Amino acid sequence: MIIIIGVVTAQPNAARALCRSLVAWYRRNRRDLPWRRGRDPYRVWVSEIMLQQTTVRAVVPYFERFVRVFPSLQALAAARLDDVLAEWSGLGYYRRARHLHEAARLIVKQHRGRFPRRLEEALALPGIGRYTAGAILSIAYGQPLPVVDGNVARVLSRLCLVRGPRSSAREKKLWSAAADLVAAADVPGDLNQALMELGATVCAPFGPSCPKCPLRRACRARAAGLQERVPSPRRLTRPTVAVRADVAVVTRAGRLLLRRRPDQSLMHGLWEFPTIPSGGVDDGLRVELRESLATIRHSITYRRLELRVRPARLLSEPPRDRYRWVRPGDLRRLPASSLVRKIMTAVGARTDRRTGSWTFDRPLRLC
DNA sequence: GAGACGTGGAG
DNA sequence: TCTCCAAGTCT
């Protein structure tokens, strides 16, 4: 039994032993993920940004496509923002893609195209906070910097029995514990990944598999029988709001009419099918009405967004700066939210899983 | 420090 | 159906 005091341990040898068993477990049990092949800082960086608040399962295909289209930091910096957003389409939190692109250009300008090694320089880049900086610098460069994400927070809360609701004091303890551990590791990047992997696969939020855990003998929560109750659940999320929107699918010569979302709106700059107010005109999509759009607000899941897709015809030509006609096959080259994919599916289009390109089995004749 | 920011899957 | 979440950052 290792005595855990305060943060991790007052005994450096015990901390080293803990690290060794954890990393050994990691090397035996880690999942084979595309960003774990090699330590290219660029690939580590892209993966860390994509994985923010996003499941591994969702990220894998996006990561593979993204690094195929933008194989290097230089390629990313040279790309147009719209092309970067297009590869991000459907992943959500599009600000991440904007930040990633902006940071790539800054790195080319200020760091000769190499991801910076100094913590302060990494933190100065847009989209990179304390967690992401620590992850990249430890995994790619082997620096002994701590990381605390949702997984690590859960593991350390249990290991060190850090109780209570989210607070700055609790955060401080967790970061301190993570720092103690990574300082005792032979390979900091592996230790950090081991903590995350453990949280993702063994030290689960509900029903942790304690018998499989390499830290089970040191875990204070388990010793106290509190592993199910630590950490305390986060506060209730905001209730969702049901929104109804009618979507106009306008076609001409086999092309679809898309509209670019305005600045300062959710998902600004992304392309979508025009929406029209529920109960709006039935005789076609009037250009005069296009400003009166249903707003898709955050915390509304699309399951609760009732979509009524209907054919519409244009009574006048829409302005070119914000509308365009797109061939279904070219849709994937435009930045669009997941809503576009849902609507395409609703009108009978199919997507090639690998290329992301859309086709219609039958000619598209909606109006 | 609370709230904004997307999405799809699990239970 | 509904709630909660999954490798956070920025304001």
| Position A32 confidence tier, pLDDT thresholds 50, 70, 90 | very high
Query: What is the Cα–Cα distance from A31 to A201, expressed in whole angstroms?
Result: 10
| Position A2 confidence tier, pLDDT thresholds 50, 70, 90 | very low
Bridge partners (DSSP) of residue A257 are A325
- If one compares A306 and A57, the residue with the highest pLDDT of the two is A57
Same domain, yes or no, for A24 and A148? yes
Same domain, yes or no, for A186 and A257? no
* Residue A324's CATH number: 3.90.79.10
| Position A279 confidence tier, pLDDT thresholds 50, 70, 90 | low
Query: Mean pLDDT over all residues of chain A?
Result: 85
C1' (C11) to CA (A65) span, angstroms: 31
For residue A264, pLDDT beyond 90: no
Structure confidence by residue, pLDDT tens digits, A126-181:
999 999 999 999 999 999 999 999 999 999 999 999 987 788 899 999 999 999 99
In a domain, A294, yes or no: yes
From the list A48, A87, A197, A272, the catalytic residue is A48
Same domain, yes or no, for A38 and A68? yes
In a domain, A132, yes or no: yes
In a domain, A16, yes or no: yes
C1' (C1) to CA (A300) span, angstroms: 14
Query: What is the Cα–Cα distance from A124 to A146, expressed in whole angstroms?
Result: 18
C1' (C1) to CA (A343) span, angstroms: 21
For residue A321, pLDDT beyond 70: yes
Specify the pLDDT at position A343.
82
Query: What is the Cα–Cα distance from A60 to A37, expressed in whole angstroms?
Result: 13
Structural domain ending residue among the three candidates A164, A188, A223: A223
Structural domain ending residue among the three candidates A223, A254, A279: A223
Specify the pLDDT at position A7.
46
Structure confidence by residue, pLDDT tens digits, A206-262:
889 999 999 999 999 999 999 988 888 776 666 666 666 677 788 888 888 898 988
For residue A102, pLDDT beyond 80: yes
As a whole number, mean pLDDT of residues A298-307 equals 50
Residues near chain B strand, CB within 7 A? A 53-55, 57-58, 90-95, 167-168, 238, 266-267, 297-299, 301-302, 337-339, 341-342
Same domain, yes or no, for A155 and A273? no
In a domain, A32, yes or no: yes
For residue A288, pLDDT beyond 80: no
Query: What kind and span of H or E run contains A258?
Result: strand A255-260
In chain A, what percentage of residues exceed pLDDT 90?
Answer: 59
Q: Residue A83 carries which DSSP code?
A: H
Least confident of A18-22, A74-78, A268-272, A310-314: A310-314
- Whether omega for the bond prior to residue A231 falls within 30 degrees of 0, making it cis, is yes
| Position A103 confidence tier, pLDDT thresholds 50, 70, 90 | very high
Parallel, antiparallel, or unpaired: how do β-strands A305-311 and A243-249 relate? parallel
Contact A248, A314 (CB under 8 A): no
Active site residue A64: no
In a domain, A6, yes or no: no
Least confident of A18-22, A113-117, A292-296, A335-339: A292-296
Specify the pLDDT at position A11.
73
Q: Which residues of A97-117 are buried (b: 16+ CB within 10 A; e: fewer)?
A: bbbbbbbbebbbeebeeebbe
Parallel, antiparallel, or unpaired: how do β-strands A305-311 and A251-252 relate? unpaired
C1' (B4) to CA (A61) span, angstroms: 27
Contact A224, A233 (CB under 8 A): no
In a domain, A292, yes or no: yes
Residue with tokens 């850090």: A162
Specify the pLDDT at position A175.
95
**Chain C, protein-covered positions (CB within 7 A):** 1-10
Nucleotide nearest to A30 (CA to C1'): C7
In a domain, A236, yes or no: no
Same domain, yes or no, for A279 and A167? no
As a whole number, mean pLDDT of residues A72-77 equals 98
Same domain, yes or no, for A340 and A209? no
As a whole number, mean pLDDT of residues A109-138 equals 98
* Residue A170's CATH number: 1.10.340.30
In a domain, A140, yes or no: yes
Query: What is the Cα–Cα distance from A106 to A74, expressed in whole angstroms?
Result: 11
For residue A1, pLDDT beyond 70: no
Residues near chain C strand, CB within 7 A? A 33, 35-36, 47-48, 51-56, 93, 99, 126-133, 135, 149-151, 154, 193, 196-197, 199-200, 204-205, 233-234, 236-237, 239-240, 301, 303-304
Specify the pLDDT at position A291.
36
Residue ranges making up the domain that contains A57 = 12-223
- If one compares A41 and A341, the residue with the highest pLDDT of the two is A41
Domain count along chain A: 2
Same domain, yes or no, for A172 and A300? no
Structural domain ending residue among the three candidates A189, A223, A257: A223
**Chain B, protein-covered positions (CB within 7 A):** 1, 4-9
Same domain, yes or no, for A61 and A195? yes
Same domain, yes or no, for A76 and A142? yes
Q: Which of A157, A167, A149, A148 is nearest to A224 (CA)?
A: A157
Contact A289, A276 (CB under 8 A): yes
